Amino acid sequence: MGIEDAFGQVVRRMRKERHLSQETLAFNSHLDRSFISLLECGRKQPTLITIFQIARALNVSPSEIIKAVEELEG
Partner DNA sequence: TTGTAGACTAACGTCGACA
Partner DNA sequence: CTGTCGACGTTAGTCTACA
Q: Which of 27, 28, 50, 66 binds DNA (CB under 7 A)?
A: 50
Q: Which of 32, 52, 57, 72 binds a second copy (CB under 8 A)?
A: 52
Under rule CB under 8 A, how many of the chain's residues touch a second copy? 18
Q: Is 60 helix (H, G, I), strand (E, B) or coil?
A: coil
User: Counting contacts by CB under 8 A, is residue 37 touching a second copy?
Assistant: no
Q: Which is nearer to a second copy, 21 or 41 (CB)?
A: 41
Residue 25 sits at the vertex; the CA angle it makes with 47 and 43, to the nearest 5 degrees, is 45
